[in-house]
């Protein structure tokens, strides 16, 4: 599956950080993780920390799929607002999901501190109204979050302008967000897995799975067999290949990054993640080397050649929008790219078993704008499932909510 177009900044900046071998002989392990992106790396690391024998296989080079195209805005806010999620599943379930995402940022901070060199930085998150008609839902969202203990502030139009230099009707400021380099995090996690006795193989394509009552056998395109007790399918948006039931729709998102800029040119994005109420939404953040990273312009294109042709045009539109937001500053894309992402109907991920495959195949489909925080939650959720422990989010994040 061709998951990206153009020149994703993380891959250009970091290159291939570490070589991993292709699998060339039959293998036995307790847990096989199918997918060597940030989702698979977080899950494999968590399982290894709990004493499981883990192997990871990736069909490309490690981190070269959607991870390389991720913009890595780490927020507890889900693309579906808290109020809307509460109306769909009840307030208790909605709060559980939001609080889990909130806690996931702390978990990622701890991991970043252990691994070093992943450009993790804490930040605020400013969610601003794109239009005056968005004020009512935004006020409702602010009051709901504040009432239930989230650290948020309200800014009216004058406050947004005075504090952030942004012309917007109003905004919610959240005091718990972060940013990082997801590509470096993936390599650091998998390097640690190797040091702890796990195994990592890239350029290894799985083309057939057999799931029985006691084990799963995965066959590679070269005829090599992997025997495992549990399989975790963490292949990003290619995971849908293994399910007959369609659980999400693929879309394309576009992004660019500038050259390093002086602090004043970064504006409010210097230490704050910016995103808007409009859908699809514009979002901005800075990088550790003081570049401006801008994304958005999502569309329903799922044909790589068409997506490729749109990258430059979409980057110019994003530059115009972001420059206008930051007070009319001209912005010049240095690297621009597009990536595939999947969108579920409710903005929530899918973790756990599916009736098509039975109890020994776990899926990790961290879809939506919260892929990295979802993956962090999914690591503990799937570990609990493998160890036959209950997890409070197993039902809400499971396939059973599809009916």
- CA-based angle 195:373:277, to the nearest 5? 155
Hunting for tokens 């009840």 — which residue is that?
90
What CA–CA distance (Å, rounded) separates 8 from 70?
A: 8
| Beta bridge partners of residue 52, listed in sequence order | none
Q: Which fold has domain 121-179+249-343?
A: D-Amino Acid Oxidase; Chain A, domain 2 (3.30.9)
The per-residue pLDDT for 2 is 47
Dist. CA 322–CA 294, nearest whole Å:
7
Q: What token pair was written down for 349?
A: 């991920």
SS3 141: helix
Contact between residue 132 and residue 169 where contact means Cβ atoms under 8 Å apart:
yes
Place of tokens 């080079």: 61
Q: How many helices (H) and strands (E) does the chain have?
A: 11, 18
Across the strands, what pairs with 21? none
The answer to whether 351 and 79 have CB atoms below 8 angstroms apart is: no
Each residue's pLDDT tens digit, 17-38: 999 999 999 999 999 999 999 9
* Alpha-carbon span 41 to 192, nearest angstrom: 10
How far, in Å, CA of 115 to CA of 109, rounded? 10
| Helix ranges (DSSP H) in 326-401 | 371-386
DSSP state of 279: S
CB 333 within 8 A of CB 315: yes
- Beta strands 199-201; 216-220: pairing state: unpaired
Q: To which residue do tokens 């948006």 refer?
A: 237
Give residue limits of the domains in the chain: 4-10+22-69+183-247+353-402, 121-179+249-343
**What are the phi and psi torsion angles at 21 (to 5°)?**
-80, 160
Q: How far does the chain reach from its first CA to its final CA, in angstroms?
A: 28
Chosen CATH of 4-10+22-69+183-247+353-402 out of 3.40.50.300, 3.50.50.60, 3.30.40.10, 3.40.50.2000: 3.50.50.60
Task: Please choose, from the candidates 343, 225, 220, 331, the residue with its C-alpha nearest in 3D space to the C-alpha of residue 281.
Answer: 343
**Residues lower than pLDDT 70 in the chain:** 1-6
DSSP string, 38-88: HHHHHHHHHHHHTT--EEEE-SSSTT-SHHHH---EEES--SS-HHHHHHH
Per DSSP, 23 falls in state P
Contacts (Cβ under 8 Å, ≥6 apart) of 86? 93, 94, 95, 144
Distance CA 402, CA 394 (A): 13
Q: What does the pLDDT read at residue 302?
A: 79
Task: Give the phi and the psi of residue 75 in degrees, each rounded to 5.
Answer: -130, 150
* HSE-CB for 71 with a 13 A CA cutoff: 31
């Amino acid at each position: 599956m061709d998951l990206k177009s153009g020149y994703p900044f993380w891959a250009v900046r970091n290159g291939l950080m570490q070589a991993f071998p292709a699998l060339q002989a039959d293998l036995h392990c307790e847990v096989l993780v199918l997918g060597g992106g940030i989702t698979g790396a977080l899950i494999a690391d968590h399982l290894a920390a709990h004493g499981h024998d883990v192997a990871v296989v990736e069909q490309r080079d490690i981190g070269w799929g959607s991870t390389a195209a991720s913009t890595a805005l780490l927020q507890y806010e889900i693309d579906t607002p808290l109020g809307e999620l509460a109306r769909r599943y009840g307030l208790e379930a909605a709060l559980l999901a939001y609080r889990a995402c909130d806690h996931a940022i702390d978990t990622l901070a701890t991991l970043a501190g252990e691994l070093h060199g992943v450009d993790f930085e804490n930040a605020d998150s400013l969610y601003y109204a794109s239009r005056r008609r968005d004020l009512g839902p935004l006020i409702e969202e602010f009051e709901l979050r504040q009432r239930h203990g989230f650290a948020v502030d309200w800014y009216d139009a004058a406050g947004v302008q005075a504090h952030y230099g942004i012309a917007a009707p109003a905004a919610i400021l959240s005091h718990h967000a972060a940013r990082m380099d997801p590509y470096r995090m993936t390599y650091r996690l998998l390097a640690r897995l190797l040091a702890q006795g796990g195994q990592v193989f890239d350029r290894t394509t799985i083309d057939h799975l057999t799931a029985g009552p006691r084990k799963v056998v995965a066959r590679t395109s070269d005829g090599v067999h992997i025997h495992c007790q549990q399989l975790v399918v963490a292949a990003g948006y290619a995971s849908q290949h293994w399910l007959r039931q369609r659980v999400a729709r693929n879309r394309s998102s576009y992004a660019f990054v500038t050259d390093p800029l002086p602090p004043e040119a970064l504006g409010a994005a210097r230490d704050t993640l910016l995103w808007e109420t409009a859908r699809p939404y514009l979002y901005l953040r800075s990088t550790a080397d003081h570049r401006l990273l801008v994304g958005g312009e999502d569309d329903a294109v799922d044909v790589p050649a068409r997506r490729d042709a749109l990258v430059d045009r979409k980057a110019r539109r994003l530059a115009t929008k972001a420059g206008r937001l930051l007070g009319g500053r001209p912005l010049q894309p240095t690297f621009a790219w597009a990536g595939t992402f999947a969108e579920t109907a409710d903005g929530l991920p899918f973790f756990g078993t599916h009736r098509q495959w039975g109890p020994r195949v776990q899926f990790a489909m961290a879809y939506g704008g919260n892929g990295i925080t979802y993956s962090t939650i999914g690591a503990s959720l799937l570990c609990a499932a493998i160890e036959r422990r209950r997890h409070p989010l197993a039902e809400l994040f499971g396939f059973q909510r599809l009916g």
